[in-house]
Amino acid sequence: LTMVSELRHAIDNNGLALYLQPKLSLKSGTIDGFEALMRWPGREQPVRADELIALAEQSGLIKPLTRWVLQEALEMRGRLRDLGFETGIAVNISPNNLREPDFAVFVQRLMQSYHSHTGGITFEVTETSMMQDPLNSLKALNSLHAAGIPISIDDFGSGYSSLSYIKQLPASEIKIDRSLISDLSDREQDRVIVRTTIDMCHSLGYTVVAEGVEDEATLKLLEEMGCDLIQGYLLTRPLPFDEMINWLSDQP
């Protein structure tokens, strides 16, 4: 069996899993949202999420894969709400999704079919993925934004950041890339970059999330810099839904 046909089978037969990783608000000290990250468990040879996504993009499976991810995220969002957690879930969207001419319509229909649980889904896109097809990506994001879906710019500060392009996007949140966060306590240069990025993003009206926070010292620095939210192993690794519920109920 080729990996592509295995993946197709997994998409159709609930062989994939969507894990959740929480974000902590440094202002309120409470969990304020989750990122959904896809996993392929039960496979003899583990496949990394980025490999899986690349495979799906190459083989045309990204469309049904994204449909599954969104359905699963909407389902989880509803279950979280039933349990009293009103926070949203962020889903990563691939460049090829944004190129589909009817993607925004498809997303709106899907959300309507989960009517009671509509809302609370944010889309994360990377600058790099937008660059492959800036005009169509921008069109798609504008339609999604018009439909009420918040947009977050992922991995900010990695690759080529073009602020003149990003400022045209209907985004409300910026996620600073892990590469700028992971050595924050040791590297004065990174502190300068991150502090300046946070100030600039705030001046432009964005909420700022720091990715890849692994220790208390980094949290303290980000708190001093006025960062809004953090995400990373310091809180927890991405967890399956039920484990995330347990983790949440263990929080003070």
And the tokens for 198? Answer: 């946070």
Binding track over 120-159 against ligand G, x by CB under 6 A: ----------------------------------xx----
For the chain, the first-to-last Cα distance in angstroms comes to: 48
Query: Binding of Na ion at residue 211 (CB under 5 A)?
Result: no
Task: By CB under 5 A, tell whether 177 contacts Mn ion.
Answer: no
> Please, what is the minimum distance in Å from the beta carbon of residue 198 to ligand G?
17
Interface residues for ligand G in 214-233 (CB under 6 A)? 214, 232-233
Report which of 92, 72, 1 is spatially closest to residue 43, judged by C-alpha positions: 1
Tell me if 72 contacts Na ion by CB under 5 A.
no
Among 31, 53, 76, 210, binds ligand G (CB under 6 A): 53
Stretch that binds ligand G, among 95-103, 166-174, 184-192, 222-230 (CB under 6 A): 95-103
128-132-138-139 Cα dihedral, nearest 10 degrees = -150
Using CB under 5 A as the binding rule, whether residue 97 contacts Na ion is answered as: no
Instruction: Tell me which residue has tokens 């001093």.
Output: 224
Distance, in Å, from the CA atom of 117 to the CA atom of 112, rounded to the nearest integer, reads 9
What angle (nearest 5°) sits at the alpha carbon of residue 179, between those of residues 178 and 185?
A: 90
- Residue showing the smallest CB distance to ligand G in the complex: 232
Q: Is 94 in the site for ligand G (CB under 6 A)?
A: yes
Contact between 231 and Na ion (CB under 5 A)? no
Helix (H, G, I), strand (E, B) or coil at 231: strand
Spell out, one character per residue from 9 to 38, where the chain touches ligand G: x when CB under 6 A holds, - when not: ------------x---------------xx
Other Cβ atoms less than 10 A from the Cβ of 49: the count is: 14
| Nearest residue to 29 (alpha-carbon basis) of 238, 229, 233, 185 | 229
Taking CB under 6 A as the rule, does residue 206 contact ligand G? no
Residues in the site for Na ion, rule: CB under 5 A? 92, 154
Residues in the site for Mn ion, rule: CB under 5 A? 124, 154
